[in-house]
């Protein structure tokens, strides 16, 4: 069993063309020929896994306050598109289940980032995996990733057969190799900022696993990273990166 990770993964759907982390974003990515998207999952106060990035509601909705302190019924009333553009007004924050339905309908793979609010690292992973395990069958087209080691630990313990990716901040922890080994990960997802050839080569030499880089919107940079050995890219502009990558035979 091996992950079928494409070279290009739409970041939060296709964030340059549609509101991030929305069903519309997933459809937009699929319409561009993207094979996988990356989405963020958090929990509402009443434990419903929803596709959302921030801890607070202000940036991408007409609501305010913390997502973790908002019940799903209240979240459902919010509007999550007009901040991006008038043509998207009226769209909603999707539940994880609604997002999976669209992904399956469009035949897309998923990198689901567990993005817990502080203190909810374990329960967010468990709730998200509970939903996924009931609906998602294809182990080759799903990657569970997180910056939070506790979330990846929970993912390993409750759904060890799903592949996991370790998200690395710009400053790598000194024990990154031990962490990767302990968490039993399958990919290293590296920050584009400050990323150098030696860092990619170190992962390839020491861990022998795919290197994915986030968030890469500059085609020249994508080609450079590809030349250094990066396997895939999270991007807001999947069409541009797809067109400009070196074809590897």
Q: How many other CB atoms sit within 10 Å of the CB of residue 116?
A: 25
Residue 88 in domain: no
- Beta strands 109-114; 36-43: pairing state: parallel
What's residue 39's pLDDT?
A: 98
Whether 77 is covered by a domain: the verdict is no
Instruction: Give pLDDT tens digits along the chain (249 positions).
Output: 578 899 999 999 999 999 999 999 999 999 999 999 999 999 999 999 999 999 999 999 999 999 999 999 999 999 999 999 999 999 999 999 999 999 999 999 999 999 999 999 999 999 999 999 999 999 999 999 999 999 999 999 999 999 999 999 999 999 999 999 999 999 999 999 999 999 999 999 999 999 999 999 999 999 999 999 999 999 999 999 999 986 653
Residue 116 domain boundaries: 8-54+95-244
**What domain count does the chain have?**
1
Domain assignment present for residue 84? The answer is no
pLDDT at 104: 98
**Of 27, 53, 139, 249, which one is the catalytic site residue?**
53
If we measure between CA atoms, which residue out of 100, 116, 97 comes closest to residue 108? 100
Q: Does 64 reside within a domain?
A: no
What CATH number corresponds to the domain at position 43? 3.20.20.190
Per-residue model confidence (pLDDT) at position 3: 86
pLDDT (0 to 100) of residue 249: 37
pLDDT given for residue 248 in this prediction: 53
Q: Positive or negative CA dihedral for 70, 93, 163, 135?
A: positive
* 69 domain residue, yes or no: no
Asked whether residue 137 is assigned to any structural domain, the reply reads: yes
Active site residue 27: no
Domain assignment of residue 90, yes or no = no
Among 11, 27, 149, 249, the active-site one is: 11
**For residue 62, is it within any domain?**
no
């Amino acid at each position: 069993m091996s992950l079928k990770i494409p070279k290009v993964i739409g970041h939060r759907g296709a964030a340059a063309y549609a509101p991030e982390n929305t069903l519309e974003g997933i459809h937009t990515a699929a319409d561009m020929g993207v094979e996988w998207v990356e989405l963020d999952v958090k929990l509402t106060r009443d434990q419903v896994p929803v596709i959302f990035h921030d801890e607070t509601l202000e940036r991408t909705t007409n609501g305010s306050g913390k997502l973790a302190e908002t019940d799903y019924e209240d979240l459902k009333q919010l509007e999550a598109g007009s901040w991006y553009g008038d043509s998207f007004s009226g769209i909603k924050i999707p539940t994880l289940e609604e997002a999976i339905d669209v992904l399956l309908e469009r035949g897309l793979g998923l990198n689901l980032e567990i993005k817990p609010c502080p203190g909810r690292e374990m329960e967010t992973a468990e709730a998200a995996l509970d939903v996924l395990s009931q609906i998602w069958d294809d182990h080759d087209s799903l990657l569970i990733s997180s910056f939070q080691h506790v979330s990846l630990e929970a993912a390993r313990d409750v759904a060890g057969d799903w592949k996991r990716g370790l998200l690395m901040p710009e400053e790598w922890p000194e024990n990154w190799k031990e962490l990767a080994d302990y968490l039993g990960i399958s990919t290293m997802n590296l920050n584009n900022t400050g990323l150098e050839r030696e860092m990619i080569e170190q992962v390839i030499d020491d861990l022998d696993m795919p290197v994915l880089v986030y968030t890469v919107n500059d085609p020249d940079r994508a080609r450079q990273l590809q030349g250094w050995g990066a396997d895939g890219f999270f991007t807001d502009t999947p069409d541009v990166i797809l067109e400009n990558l070196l074809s590897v035979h």
